[in-house]
Amino acid sequence: MNEAKLRQLEKRLKLRVKTGCETCRVRRIKCDETKPACTRCTSTGRTCEGYKHVDKWKDGSPAAAASYRNSSFLVVPQKAMQFVISRSPSQSFSPDSRETRSFQFFQTRTLPGWIEFFDSELWSRTVLQMSHSEPAIKHGLLALSTMHERFETTAPAISASTNDFAFLQYMQAVKHSNKLLAAQAGNVNIEKILIACIIFTCYENLSGNYLAANMHLRNGMRILNQHKNDLSLQQNASQEWIGHVLYRFDLQAMTFSETHSPYHYSLTSPPDCPQIHKTYTRNSLARDDMVGLMRCVLWLSGVVDVDPQAAKHPIWLQAYSQLRKSIEEWDDAFANYQQNLSEHEQRDPKVFTGDTLLKMYSIMTSVMATAGAGLETEMAWDAFVDSFKTIVDLAENLPILRPDSSPSSFSSSPSSPSPDPRPSQSAESHPIAPKPRRIPSSAPPGASTIVFRADPGPPVGVSHQAQSSTNVNSVSQRTHTSFSPSFELSPIVPLFVTACRCRDPVVRRRAIALLLTCRRREGVWDSLGAGIIALNWAKREEG
């Protein structure tokens, strides 16, 4: 709307204007606005004071000028104006205020735990988008978010009430996932089904229902394997990401095998050993290959734990040989990646923490592949004290394991700013450990198990009563950090392996201290529980 039309509209509606001359405005009469001096003043012999008060609006927009002429006039924004529109979908997520708030908590508190080490388009975009169109995913996220929030408050995490909000949301998610399968019989949306399996696995792990979590994971892995060829043909990036998430969950299950939900190893079904590239363009690719290497290490150990003669089988020998080669290739590729980091990536604390974590896993994988898969005696671990020390050195540089890195409490106000999921900037001052020396390969005539079970009991002679309430209370008094759940690759496992296998008393106690003072749940792993088991393990070994 131009200036002339605005003036016509004002006249037609008889709106009082502010653009008359100074003299007419003081007299409070209608000015004809003739310029440079209005006729109404000059015809009566008065001096027209002019229009100085409106000169400043000459260069403004017509809408702004109209607003000045009449304070009740509607100012219509022009195309040149910019509006900041929130991209957060939480406001329109649900008419239920509890669901909206729970979804906001997921975005601001739960989601950062999934991407604290590595960026993920799957979680930060794909899953959030699906939650608006697929009820199974929506209610699954709400159940998981509610359970997470309870762990960060004084409310009981598990409730037996049938009106429990988290449980009701979980039941809704399961019901809708069953409907999804029934409605798409013969033409199932694999992507949605697998994401639902992942969310259900996370929920059950957080609830402590490891048997149910293992069931969901096994279902997801079975569906993934059945449709692996179809997924590779479709070349869908999100489906590839989903597969890697399931592999990471499978790795957690391999490291944490309990009586009620044991991990089943098959000599005839070894995991695929990753084909290592010459270098990596981002650390998430290096992580995916490292997960593949770790799964191979644990499979080699697991099948021998079931049948000691498996170490002589051609399938086992071939897998072991390929693993040793791939570990060396990964070390070289990761070293090339670090050398080619841009200046921005070198200053990025998130890249730092992700790379540091990968170095911890790299060292642990090499040690386990040599000591666990090549020798039968527990004394084999004593040759790797320097490697264990490097793992602890790296862990102590991770911001998430520092006492001052605990997150602030969540506010129910929608205007509460989202906490920054990135690690502390202080991480920039700590260099990534240099590439460790090659751990010499040894022939694999026999293998001793290197699987750390959830319920192994402490070593012989140490009962569960050793974990007395006094010990737990003393640990609790030293634990002040907030609960921090994560469902991705993270540091508890390397620290637990170090605390149990390293017999250097100083290095071992540094690892145990990190486990006891950080309050983290990483899938099935709990830092406090792992620390208590490692502490009793050390007491037994050291007398």
* Burial grade of 298 (CB within 10 A; 0-12, 13-18, 19 or more): buried
What total of structural domains would you count in the chain?
3
Whether 475 shows a pLDDT value over 50: the answer reads no
User: Quick check: is 50 in a domain?
Assistant: yes
Looking at the fold, whether 34 and 167 belong to one and the same domain comes out as no
Contacts of 255 (CB under 8 A, 6+ apart): 298, 451, 452, 493, 525
What is the structure's pLDDT at 2? 54
Whether 419 shows a pLDDT value over 70: the answer reads no
Q: What CATH number did the domain enclosing 37 receive?
A: 4.10.240
Sign, Cα dihedral of 253, 258, 261, 262: positive
User: Quick check: is 360 in a domain?
Assistant: no
Whether 367 shows a pLDDT value over 60: the answer reads yes
Residue 484: its H or E element:
strand 484-486
Task: Name the residue with higher pLDDT: 419 or 384.
Answer: 384
What is the structure's pLDDT at 334? 96
Looking at the fold, whether 245 and 118 belong to one and the same domain comes out as yes
Cβ pair 75, 64 in contact under 8 A: yes
Q: Of 230, 264, 298, which marks where a domain is finished?
A: 264
Alpha helices (H) in 71-164, listed in sequence order: 97-105, 111-114, 121, 127-130, 135-151
Strand, helix or coil for residue 57: coil
Whether 530 shows a pLDDT value over 50: the answer reads yes
Half-sphere exposure of 90 (CA within 13 A, CB side): 22
Looking at the fold, whether 120 and 250 belong to one and the same domain comes out as yes
What is the structure's pLDDT at 11? 58
Looking at the fold, whether 484 and 536 belong to one and the same domain comes out as yes
What is the structure's pLDDT at 230? 61
**According to the per-residue pLDDT averaged within each range, which of 37-51, 75-89, 496-510 is highest?**
496-510
Looking at the fold, whether 28 and 102 belong to one and the same domain comes out as no
User: Quick check: is 442 in a domain?
Assistant: no
User: Quick check: is 248 in a domain?
Assistant: yes
Looking at the fold, whether 42 and 102 belong to one and the same domain comes out as no
**According to the per-residue pLDDT averaged within each range, which of 27-31, 300-304, 391-395 is highest?**
391-395
With a pLDDT cut of 70, the percent of the chain lying above it is 67
Q: Of 242, 264, 286, which marks where a domain is finished?
A: 264
User: What tokens were used for 423?
Assistant: 């690690």
Contacts of 374 (CB under 8 A, 6+ apart): 380, 441, 442, 443, 444, 447
Sign, Cα dihedral of 28, 34, 36, 40: negative
User: Quick check: is 409 in a domain?
Assistant: no
User: Quick check: is 101 in a domain?
Assistant: yes
User: Quick check: is 410 in a domain?
Assistant: no
User: Quick check: is 380 in a domain?
Assistant: no
Looking at the fold, whether 8 and 124 belong to one and the same domain comes out as no
Distance CA 23, CA 32 (A): 12
Looking at the fold, whether 56 and 122 belong to one and the same domain comes out as no
With a pLDDT cut of 90, the percent of the chain lying above it is 26
What is the structure's pLDDT at 142? 93
Whether 412 shows a pLDDT value over 60: the answer reads no
Looking at the fold, whether 119 and 248 belong to one and the same domain comes out as yes
What is the structure's pLDDT at 22? 84
In which domain, by residue range, is 114 found?
96-264
Kindly report the number of other CB atoms within 10 A of residue 12's CB atom: 8
Looking at the fold, whether 60 and 177 belong to one and the same domain comes out as no
Looking at the fold, whether 129 and 223 belong to one and the same domain comes out as yes
Looking at the fold, whether 100 and 245 belong to one and the same domain comes out as yes
What is the structure's pLDDT at 423? 39
Kindly report the number of other CB atoms within 10 A of residue 22's CB atom: 18
Task: Name the residue with higher pLDDT: 461 or 350.
Answer: 350
Q: Of 223, 248, 264, which marks where a domain is finished?
A: 264
